[in-house]
């Protein structure tokens, strides 16, 4: 029978036929045994399904991937030790020397370093396209372009890209579209609905949701995941069984958590609009958000991230952060606990000043990952801290 996504996230489980476990146990083993030499040969030859080595696959990892593939409407997937492992492997497996990547200008700091410092070592180039100039994207596509890489909403500026338009563009030029869906999660949007070939996640964020473990996910078209799996199996960035077990259990509450994150974030954003210490408040489901109509079109709710621009630049933002009493200062996001981050001095500090300005990362910008606390307590703490700026 057909069941809802939130039910699948709870009920999809690894084989439990051996001991009839209601909750899947941990498979903390480096390798697996075979019943015969012939079975070993057949499994290695991929004539028979089965686990070989936990760097290749593991029942806990397989369970996590089955859930993520279902939630993201994807055919297959691979799990990584971190989100950046998923981003790097997805690019490295599908590109070769001489290829070109078209990326949105607003990408995570480490993704920028990957595009600008790491991939050029192997002759892979990139161009950045601006969200505000959709006509300019096609002009940047060359015969060498193989992949379009985007984040929507972007980190940290919350810029949105029209996925329906981009899906048409990638089909027109026969490109591979990779979408980082970390901020939205599959609860709020499914890029595969619009033609995304690969969807990547830092599972460290909302998938875990409690700041416990690292993890990365890449799901998508089976033939592309096959190439990514080959690359990952032989380069070693696989997720551990323990982390996969934690993340699979976390998915059981993802729907509830994301709904509450969204509810709290919207209320915080509405309360902060017009605060005299702030130049700007950005949240996709605020009517003042420049891309509000697009957000309503492709996202089910606004997400758990609010960004604010503190008047007075870095020194004022620093004073604001140092005045907080309840809210945490951390580089993470998607946690049960509300977190503030100053991107210009932390997560995006390796970008040049010009690069930060081009992506809207001003000296006073603060990213707020709104948690699951009583939102009135969060609002009170942020307002008292802003009052001291």
CATH number of the domain bearing residue 122: 3.40.640.10
Last residue of a domain, one of 209, 226, 250: 250
Q: Structure tokens of 4?
A: 């809802």
Phi-psi region of 122 (alpha: psi -120 to 50; beta: other; left: phi over 0): alpha
pTM, to two decimals = 0.95
Same domain, 291 and 325: yes
Rounded to 5 degrees, φ, ψ at 145 are -70, 130
Last residue of a domain, one of 187, 221, 250: 250
Last residue of a domain, one of 250, 278, 306: 250
Same domain, 285 and 226: no
Same domain, 208 and 297: no
pLDDT in tens, the chain (389 residues): 777 887 878 777 777 666 677 788 899 999 999 999 999 999 999 899 999 999 999 999 999 999 999 999 999 999 999 999 999 999 999 999 999 999 999 898 899 999 999 999 999 999 999 988 988 999 999 999 999 999 999 999 999 999 999 999 999 999 999 999 999 999 999 999 999 999 999 999 999 999 999 999 999 999 999 999 999 999 999 999 999 999 999 999 999 999 999 999 999 999 999 999 999 999 999 999 999 999 999 999 999 999 999 999 999 999 999 999 999 999 999 999 999 999 999 888 777 787 787 777 889 999 999 999 999 999 999 999 999 99
Same domain, 231 and 323: no
Same domain, 216 and 278: no
CATH number of the domain bearing residue 379: 3.90.1150.10
Same domain, 203 and 263: no
Same domain, 324 and 186: no
Q: Structure tokens of 177?
A: 């579209």
Same domain, 341 and 236: no
Same domain, 268 and 226: no
Q: Structure tokens of 300?
A: 């089910």
Q: Which structural domain, as residue segments, surrounds residue 181? A: 5-250
Same domain, 330 and 380: yes
Rounded to 5 degrees, φ, ψ at 75 are -85, -30
Same domain, 284 and 201: no
C-beta separation of 370 from 338 below 8 A? yes
The tally of domains found in the chain comes to 2
Residues 254-299: tens digit of each pLDDT:
999 999 999 999 999 999 999 999 999 999 999 999 999 999 999 9
Same domain, 239 and 360: no
């Amino acid at each position: 029978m057909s069941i809802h996504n939130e039910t699948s996230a709870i009920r999809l489980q690894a084989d439990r036929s051996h001991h009839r476990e209601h909750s899947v146990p941990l498979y903390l083993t480096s390798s697996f045994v075979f019943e015969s030499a012939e079975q070993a040969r057949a499994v290695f030859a991929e004539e028979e399904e089965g686990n070989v080595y936990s760097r290749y696959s593991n029942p806990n990892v397989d369970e996590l991937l089955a859930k993520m593939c279902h939630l993201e409407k994807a055919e297959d997937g691979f799990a990584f030790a971190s989100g950046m492992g998923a981003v790097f492997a997805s690019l490295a497996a599908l590109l070769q020397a001489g290829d070109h990547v078209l990326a949105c200008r607003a990408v995570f700091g480490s993704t920028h370093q990957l595009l600008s410092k790491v991939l050029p070592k192997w002759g892979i180039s990139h161009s950045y396209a601006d969200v505000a100039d959709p006509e300019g994207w096609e002009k940047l596509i060359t015969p060498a372009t193989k992949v379009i890489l985007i984040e929507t909403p972007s980190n940290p500026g919350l810029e949105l890209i029209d996925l329906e338009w981009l899906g048409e563009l990638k089909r027109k030029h026969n490109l591979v579209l990779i979408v980082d869906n970390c901020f939205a999660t599959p609860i709020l949007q499914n890029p595969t609905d619009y033609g995304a070939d690969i969807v990547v996640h830092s599972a460290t964020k909302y998938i875990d949701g409690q700041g416990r473990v690292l993890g990365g996910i890449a799901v998508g078209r089976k033939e592309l995941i096959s190439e990514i799996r080959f690359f990952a199996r032989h380069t070693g960035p696989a997720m551990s069984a323990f982390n996969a077990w934690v993340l699979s259990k976390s998915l059981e509450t993802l729907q509830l958590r994301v709904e509450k994150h969204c509810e709290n974030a919207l209320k915080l954003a509405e309360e902060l609009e017009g605060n005299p210490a702030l130049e700007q408040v950005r949240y996709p489901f605020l009517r003042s958000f420049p891309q509000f109509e697009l957000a309503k079109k492709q996202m089910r709710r606004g997400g758990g991230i609010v960004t604010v621009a503190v008047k007075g630049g870095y020194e004022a933002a620093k004073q604001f952060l140092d005045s907080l009493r309840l809210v945490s200062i951390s580089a993470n996001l998607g946690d049960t606990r509300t977190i503030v981050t100053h991107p210009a001095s932390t997560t995006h500090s390796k970008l040049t000043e010009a690069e930060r300005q081009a992506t809207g990362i001003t000296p006073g910008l603060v990213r707020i990952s709104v948690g699951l606390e009583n939102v009135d307590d969060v609002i009170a703490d942020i307002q008292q801290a802003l009052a001291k700026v």
